[in-house]
């Protein structure tokens, strides 16, 4: 028995260890490298990209890869994690992942198999000229934010628009990137500021202090019991009496029996439940960096 256990320990691949599961479709900061402001900005930028182009991008930070069976190398681990999550549309395979491993001092831009070789060259330029300088200086959050924004603007959006990708001249990237990031960052900050200003403000009288009430929307079942897939979200202004009720899809649909016991449940992908991503895969393209 002891011999059999030792033999299994030797032959079972190390990378069979459990890969981390995603908690959010946009930003999974497991290593805690992002500031709240940069995490919000990345979530907004990636959500906007998905809404406008259908391209899924995600940011992942981990302390190291060894605990997840990543001793076979950064590139193999990034591809395996990308495929495990299924980032990107399963037909177009145009998703991307920005991965940073804090303790390993490694970073990777992993691209879906739908991208051409020119995208790999651009990813290497972004890694070399944008991400690594900031990561080496300890500006982790800034490097991740700027690197992700560069992938969005220089790779994802041109591909979505059907424009050919051309690797810029070495010096041209240094001149373009500050203006590109500056304009994009101002747009993101403006959108965040507008949302904050409008948050909890009555659209009728303009006063703040809206009251919000969330109640499950129960749909009766023929055999008894009920099903809940949505919530009724009601906002009401105590100052002028304005109110509005909207339905919000839950992460899961749950079926209850006549006695209130849970019979079964099913994830709602449209609300961010599993499987979440579009089932894309990677051929191992992209760019790696170490500092």
Q: pLDDT tens across 55-66, in order?
A: 999 999 999 999
Q: What is the reported pTM?
A: 0.63
Helical segments of 94-236, H only: 117-126, 132-136, 140-151, 157-160, 170-198
Distance CA 195, CA 177 (A): 27
pLDDT in tens, 228-287: 888 888 889 999 999 988 877 776 678 888 988 888 766 665 554 445 788 899 999 999
Q: What is the DSSP letter of 131?
A: I
Please state the rounded mean pLDDT for residues 142-168: 90
């Amino acid at each position: 028995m002891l011999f059999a256990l030792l033999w299994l320990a030797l032959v079972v691949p190390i990378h069979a260890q459990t890969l981390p599961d995603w908690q959010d479709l946009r930003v999974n900061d497991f290593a805690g490298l992002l500031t709240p402001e940069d995490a919000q900005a990345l979530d907004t930028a990636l959500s906007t990209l998905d809404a406008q182009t259908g391209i899924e991008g995600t940011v992942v930070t981990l302390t190291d890869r060894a605990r997840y069976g990543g001793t076979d190398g950064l590139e193999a681990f990034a591809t395996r994690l990308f495929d495990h999550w299924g980032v990107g549309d399963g037909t177009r395979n145009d998703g991307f992942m920005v991965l940073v491993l804090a303790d390993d001092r490694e970073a990777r831009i992993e691209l879906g198999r739908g991208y051409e070789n020119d995208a790999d060259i651009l990813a290497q330029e972004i890694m070399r000229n944008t991400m690594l300088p900031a990561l080496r200086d300890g500006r982790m959050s800034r490097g991740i934010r700027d690197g992700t924004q560069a992938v969005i603007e220089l790779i994802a959006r041109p591909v979505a628009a059907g424009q050919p990708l051309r690797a810029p001249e070495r010096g041209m990237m240094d001149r373009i990137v500050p203006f590109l990031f500056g304009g994009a960052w101002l747009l993101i900050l403006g959108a965040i500021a507008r949302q904050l200003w409008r948050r909890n403000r009555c659209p009728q009288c303009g006063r703040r202090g809206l009251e919000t009430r969330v109640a499950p929307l129960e749909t009766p079942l023929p055999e008894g019991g009920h099903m809940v897939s949505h919530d009724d979200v009601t906002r009401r202004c105590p100052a002028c009496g304005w109110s509005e009720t909207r339905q919000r899809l839950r992460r899961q649909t749950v079926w209850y029996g006549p006695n209130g016991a849970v019979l079964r449940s099913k994830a709602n992908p449209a609300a961010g439940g599993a499987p979440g991503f579009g089932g894309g895969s990677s051929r191992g393209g992209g760019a790696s960096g170490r500092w």
